[in-house]
Every structure is written in C-alpha cells, then in structure tokens.
Chains A and B, each alone.
Chain A
Amino acid sequence: MFVFKKDQQVINIANVKIGGQPGQLPTVLAGTIFYNKHSIVSDPVAGIFDKQAAEALINAQQVLSDETGNPHMVHIYAETPQAAERYLDFVSATTDAPFLLDSTDSTVRTAAAAYVSEVGLADKTIYNSLNMSVTDAEIEALASSDIDTAIILGFNAMDSGLDGRMELLENGGSVLPHGLLETADECGITKKLIDPSITPMGNGAGVALRMCITAKAKWGYPVGSGIHNAPSAWNWLRNKSKEDRFLYKICDIASTGLQQMAAGDFILYGPIENARYTFPLAAMADIMISESVADLDVEPVEGHPIYKLV
C-alpha cells in the first residue's frame, strides 16, 4: 500500500471518523435499509415496514461494528418524503450511528433535508448525494438546511473517464457551470465525501477505483463508493450464479476489499443483511493495509481491527 503526500482530511460525523491515510482509520461501513424491494418494507410510498425486523438488522450491524472495530452507518433509501420521515425517525431512535439520506428523486432528498433540520438530526445526516443533475432548487434547499456533510458524486454521463469525473468536481467540465465541490461550498457542505460513482464493469467501474486514489492525492477528502453495484450490474455473473448461488455473494462481498485497496475510507456495501459477511472481510483488509504501511509512519487509531482481532 502507500501514503499520500497530501494531508488527508478526517471528518467527524456523530463521533464516526472517516478519512485519513490508508491504514490509519478503519473503513466505515454503511448497510442499506429500506432499499427497493426490501422484504421488510410493505409500503414504500407510505414508508410502512416491519419494525422488529429493521431493528434486528441495524442491531446486527452494530454488534459486528463493535466486534471488528469498523464503524458503521445506516444508508436509508426512501421513495417519498413521507417514507423518508418515518425511516429517519425509526433509525435515529434505534441507533446513535450517523445515516445517509438517499433517494433517486431530488425532491425527496430536499424534503428530508428540511425534515432532519427541523427535528434536530442534521448533525447525524449525510446527504447522498450532490450530483451532476443538481438543480437550483436543490442547492437552495440544501443551503437552507442544517446539513453540513454530503457525498459528492463523480458520475459524469458525458465523460466517464478519469479526467471527466475529476473535472465534474473541479470545474464542472462540459456539464456544469462550475464544479460540484464549489456547489457543495455554496450549499454549506463543509464535510465532503467523494464517491467516484461505480458504473457497471465495461462502463468505467475500474476508473472509479482509480479516481478514489486520484481524489485523495489531489484534495485529501475521504473517498468511498457503493462498489457492490459493479457485481450487481454484471449480467454474466447473474447468469453464472444460477449454477452456484454462492458465486454472486462471493463477488459481491469481495468487491468491498477492492475499494479498500483503492484507498476507500467508507463503503456503501449494499443490503444491510450482508453485514455479517462484509464486516469480517473489511476488517481483514484493514488489518493487512495497516500492516503494509507500518514502516511509513502511519499509526492505526485506537479501536482499529488490528488491535481487536489479531
């Protein structure tokens, strides 16, 4: 592994620290709950779900986090503002961990941003995400909220190469009048998390990994991704898994390690049910990464898996 010349920022969200040099802090892991077709959700529009099952899932993630030393966050996906409010109320009452506020619909994200500000949960919220489709209305809504942490997405549908993704953040490239990093400043986002955006393999999944290293080298911001989206969009694997159902699971979980080796500080590992496989794998990678830079003046922090598990 390696050490960045650029000083690496460590951000603190509700006592969870993200960032630093590879090997310094354990990788922060976020499981997704209430995702599309999640079996515990009976009405995704109203936000009706099985509370007992949801609590068990969040608690299981918490237990693994305590055991391995990898901090955890809850990645909440909502389809409507009403559902978002119910999910946010529940998650914040169930765990002290920070959460990511996510929806493919920006009006849901902005309504939820206003809600967390109103009920005093903004300091635990990560807005997911500011992306190339950002509108004036979204900028205004985020700026008037109390949220100060956001994922900045490097998805550039006009130029999915490394340069295109970096330019989108830096100066807007050919898509936006100015870069998304500047837009984030405009929105009052002082804690920036960079997600290069995992496009399918064949459309730049590997480029996204390289962007993680480049972004840390250039800006020093924490980086990470939902890398499980690469195997989940892989048609060959889906077909091959019909022969052996473990094939998909193996690739899905193993992708976490790839992101860690590409200097990932946080990982959105997909369905929260996968916590029991993801945390041990991530802890293993963190231990090895930490050992690999031990002679490069990188000291793992207290509570790191290297102190807990070996």
Chain B
Amino acid sequence: MPNNTIAQEWPPARGDYTVVNPESRISVVTLASDMDPLPDTCVMGSCKTENLGIEKIIANTISNSNIRYILVCGQESKGHLSGNTLLAIHANGVDEQGRIIGSDGAIPFIENIPADAIEHFQSQVELIDRRGLIETHEIQAMIEEYKSKGEPFPHPAMVVQSKKKKKMVEREIKGADVLISHNILMDTTSGVVFAQT
C-alpha cells in the first residue's frame, strides 16, 4: 500500500465538481448534466468538453489512488461528446499528435497530460458507462455498491505538471508593429511597449 495515496494538494485541477469523500473508491462524472453532489462519492461533477475537461478528470483521478471506479452518467455533451471521449481515452489512449484515439468529439486533443499519466489513469480506474442515466436514486445505488469496493491503486498518487506554465518567452524586441503614441511603440510578438529613442 503506498503511503502517499492522495497527493498533497488534491485535487490539483479546479473545475465544476465537488469533493465529497476523498477515501471513496468511486467518482461520478455527470457529463452535461448538472446535479447536486451525492453522499459517499469521492468527486462528483460535470464534464462538458472533450479536451480540457478530460484533462482535469485524469489529473484529479491519478492524484488520488483511492479512486478505482468512475461512473460516467448524465446527458452526453452535444457535439463535444465528452463521455464518448472519456471512454475512448481510457480504452485507446492518444496518438502521437495527442488526438484521443476513437473519439467522435469535436476537438479531442490532450495537451497537458503526458503518456505515462494516461497509462496510469487507464490502469488505475475502471469506467462504468451509464451515459444517459440521470436518476439520482440509481446513481446513489451505484455509489453505494462501489464506494468501498477493492483496494486503493497500489502505486503512489501521481501529479502532472502543466507544460505551458514552464514556458517563458524572451522579452526581446524584434520590431515595432503597433503605434501607441507618437514615440511609444509596441512589439506585439514580445508584448513589450517601449519608447522610441
């Protein structure tokens, strides 16, 4: 059993969800349906997008090894198909360009989750596909069934770092392309405003 079952600052990704019981084995994704959180689930919330929303689910799941099941329910997010995409990334992963294999969503790409984190997610949790289910009592019954089922994932919680936050742009002025005042210019590439000398 790993000592660090739950990452220190969990959940790392903010979103439209509620943390109910971090020790529970099951989280609930309600797709495009907004529902009040139910007792005994780990995290419960919506997921409306097939890219950023999926990234948040993966980041918040792999950073808590207690989660072994994700119930995918609620109405599918039209056009975006976040439910279809979540199932696809769990089953197939992503290709070399980051496209989620087998997703029918509009723009199903992953930017901030590395391949090893996706593999971690695939190994850690089992998805329960109940897309379309919105009846609260049925969802609660499934939470009760799975909330204590099995053991935590036998690997430490994994935290992914966002790639984009590490990237800094040099503040080198390459040329002025915006005139702000008679001798004040801006280089829009670097974002630097400067006085012409």
Binding site for B on A (CB under 8 A): 1-6, 36, 79, 103-106, 131-133, 155-163, 174-175, 199-200, 202-204, 210, 213-214, 217-218, 235, 238, 296
Number of chain B interface residues as a range: 20 to 34
Q: Using Cβ atoms and an 8 Å threshold, which residues of chain A touch B177?
A: 4-6, 217-218
Contact A79 B15 (CB under 8 A): no
Contact B178 A157 (CB under 8 A): no
Name which of B19-27, B126-134, B138-146, B183-191 contacts chain A: B183-191
Q: Does B171 contact A (CB under 8 A)?
A: no
A133 and B106 CA atoms in complex are apart in Å by 7
Contact A158 B186 (CB under 8 A): no
Contact B109 A157 (CB under 8 A): yes
Q: Does B180 contact A (CB under 8 A)?
A: yes
Q: Does B137 contact A (CB under 8 A)?
A: no
Q: Does B79 contact A (CB under 8 A)?
A: yes
Q: Using Cβ atoms and an 8 Å threshold, which residues of chain A touch B80?
A: 104
Contact A202 B164 (CB under 8 A): no
Contact B178 A217 (CB under 8 A): yes
Contact B178 A213 (CB under 8 A): yes
Residue of B52, B79, B109, B180 near A104 (CB, 8 A) is B79
In the complex, which residue of chain B has the Cβ closest to the Cβ of A161?
A: B164
Contact B191 A210 (CB under 8 A): yes
Residue of A175, A203, A235 near B52 (CB, 8 A) is A203
Q: Using Cβ atoms and an 8 Å threshold, which residues of chain A touch B16?
A: 235, 238
Q: Using Cβ atoms and an 8 Å threshold, which residues of chain A touch B169?
A: 162-163
Contact A132 B109 (CB under 8 A): yes
Contact B178 A3 (CB under 8 A): yes
Q: Does B149 contact A (CB under 8 A)?
A: no
A210 and B177 CA atoms in complex are apart in Å by 14
Contact A5 B178 (CB under 8 A): yes
A305 and B180 CA atoms in complex are apart in Å by 22
Q: How would you classify the secondary structure of chain B's contact residues: helix, strand, loop or mixed? A: loop
* A157-B107 contact given A2-B186, A79-B78, A162-B169, CB 8 Å threshold: yes
In the complex, which residue of chain B has the Cβ closest to the Cβ of A133?
A: B107
Distance (whole angstroms) from the CB of B177 to the closest CB of chain A: 4
Q: Using Cβ atoms and an 8 Å threshold, which residues of chain A touch B191?
A: 210
A158 and B164 CA atoms in complex are apart in Å by 10
Residue of B109, B179, B188 near A296 (CB, 8 A) is B179
Closest 6 CB pairs of A and B: A104-B79, A157-B109, A217-B188, A217-B177, A2-B180, A3-B179
Distance (whole angstroms) from the CB of A216 to the closest CB of chain B: 8
Q: Does B156 contact A (CB under 8 A)?
A: no
Contact A4 B178 (CB under 8 A): yes
In the complex, which residue of chain A has the Cβ closest to the Cβ of B48?
A: A233
In the complex, which residue of chain B has the Cβ closest to the Cβ of A77?
A: B79
* A106-B52 contact given A5-B177, A235-B14, CB 8 Å threshold: no
Distance (whole angstroms) from the CB of B36 to the closest CB of chain A: 13
Q: Using Cβ atoms and an 8 Å threshold, which residues of chain A touch B109?
A: 132, 157-158, 175
Q: Using Cβ atoms and an 8 Å threshold, which residues of chain A touch B78?
A: 36, 79, 104-105
Q: Does B98 contact A (CB under 8 A)?
A: yes
Residue of A103, A158, A160 near B97 (CB, 8 A) is A158
Contact A2 B178 (CB under 8 A): yes
Could you write out 18 A-B pairs with CB less than 8 Å apart?
A: A2-B178, A2-B179, A2-B180, A3-B179, A5-B179, A104-B79, A104-B80, A133-B107, A156-B111, A157-B98, A158-B111, A159-B111, A161-B167, A175-B97, A175-B98, A200-B52, A213-B186, A235-B14
Distance (whole angstroms) from the CB of B63 to the closest CB of chain A: 17
In the complex, which residue of chain B has the Cβ closest to the Cβ of A162?
A: B169
* A235-B15 contact given A104-B78, A105-B106, A214-B189, CB 8 Å threshold: yes
Distance (whole angstroms) from the CB of A29 to the closest CB of chain B: 24
Q: Using Cβ atoms and an 8 Å threshold, which residues of chain A touch B60?
A: none
Q: Using Cβ atoms and an 8 Å threshold, which residues of chain B touch A296?
A: 179, 181
Distance (whole angstroms) from the CB of A193 to the closest CB of chain B: 19
Contact A106 B106 (CB under 8 A): yes
A235 and B70 CA atoms in complex are apart in Å by 22
Q: Using Cβ atoms and an 8 Å threshold, which residues of chain A touch B108?
A: 133, 157
Residue of A5, A131, A158, A163 near B176 (CB, 8 A) is A5
